[in-house]
Structures are given as structure tokens and as C-alpha cells.
Amino acid sequence: MRDTYLVQRLSQPPKTEWQAKGSQVFGGGMLQLKPEAWKILQEVFDIEYMGSAEYEFGTLPASLNLFNQDGDKLEAFEITVPRKDIKMNWSREHRLQEARRAEIKKAKEAGVPVPRKKKPKKGELPGDATVYVLCRKEHREGATQALIALAGDKVRTKGSNNVARALDPVEEYDRKTCGWYELDNGFFFFTDRVMWERATALFMRGSSDS
């Protein structure tokens, strides 16, 4: 497998025709997707604007076309990403730091020893994350490794991929992106099971091992 660099963000399918048209017009024209392709894809997911030429000028439809041609070579499965492999959301880290500073300030004002820093209690952090994958069978191991690296924010991609943030959501915005298409090798992964099931039904020919 090639190194991961282009990761297209995906979100929930548009709820209205106006929302669908909005995605197609704002940045969508540069993707060079045909109207019939937009209609099919937006029943499964919406395509977020990435703001970079690398994702435009036909790159996405060309990759999806090859992916679709390999429908009988695909497999769908889910993986568990351990909490330790997920980079903590900046907002969560900031809140913990603020709480620690307040704890130190309170101790100093009271003239008592500063308590030792404690690890977050169980329940204060989200647990392991489930990610749903659709890829070529030969890419299963490589795609899994790429996902773990993305979860830890250890991969430099063109534009924000928001994978780590989605696996450790704090704000509602963190949940907006719930699917991705990796263009360098061609594979999907989702935090939303329904989107994954719909993508599997659309692209894969044959049975899933999930």
C-alpha cells in the first residue's frame, strides 16, 4: 500500500434537496462528479469541501470508479481502536489542564501542599472506539494500520482529516465528520454504522465477514 496522504472527509447524507445542492455547488463543482453520481452518493454520505486542488479535478470520481470496479474484491469489517491509540481531543486536554491549574491555585491560596496530579478517572475519558471499514481484501492489514496511525494523529494529510477528533468527540462539531475515503489506496472507513452499511451495499458485490 502507498502512504496515506489524501483523506476525503464525509458527513451524514443531506436531509433536504437544498442541502444537497449546496454541497454540490460549494466546492463540489471542482470534484467533477456527474449529477447522477452525486445523487447516488448523497444517499449514503455527503462529501465535505477539502479546499485543496489535490482532491479536485476528477481525482475523487476516478478513484471511486476503480473502487467500484473491484466490488467483488472488497470486504467489510469493523475494528476496535484502543483508547491509548487515540490522540486526546484538544478541547478535552484544555479542560483537564484548566482544572489542574485551578487545583494548584486553590492549594497555594490555602497554603497546603499541591496535590499530586491524578490520572483521569474511569468514565472521564471515552473508551475504545469502533470503526467500520470497507476496503479491498488485500488492503485489510494496511488499512487497519493506517487507521491506527490516523487515530493517533501520526499521519500528515493534505487538509484536516478530523479522525482523532471524531474518535474523541467533545463538541458537536467533532461529530460532523463521521466517514472518510482514503484516496491513495482507495478505502472507506466510518464511525457511523449505517453509513458503512449503505456504502457496503452500494460498492461491494459478495458477502461481508462482519
Q: What is the pLDDT of residues 25-58, one digit of tens each?
A: 765 667 888 889 999 999 999 999 998 999 988 9
Q: DSSP assignment of 156-177, as one string?
A: --SS---HHHHHS--SGGGGTE
Q: Are residues 59 and 28 in the same domain?
A: yes
Residue 208's pLDDT band (cuts 50, 70, 90): very low
Q: Are residues 100 and 71 in the same domain?
A: no
Q: Is residue 195 part of a domain?
A: yes
Q: How many CB atoms lie within 10 A of CB 57?
A: 12
Count the alpha carbons within 13 Å of 130 in the hemisphere toward its beta carbon: 8
Q: Are residues 134 and 74 in the same domain?
A: yes
The values of phi and psi at residue 135, to 5°, are -150, 170
Range(s) of the domain holding residue 151? 7-83+126-203
**Percent of the chain predicted with pLDDT > 70:** 90
Q: Is residue 1 part of a domain?
A: no
Residue 137's pLDDT band (cuts 50, 70, 90): very high
Q: Are residues 191 and 131 in the same domain?
A: yes
Q: Are residues 137 and 184 in the same domain?
A: yes
Please tell me the total count of domains within the chain.
Answer: 2
Asked which of 124, 147, 180 is the last residue of a domain, the reply is 124
Q: Are residues 59 and 157 in the same domain?
A: yes
Cell of 155: 499521519
Q: Are residues 135 and 54 in the same domain?
A: yes
Q: Are residues 119 and 17 in the same domain?
A: no
Q: Is residue 54 part of a domain?
A: yes
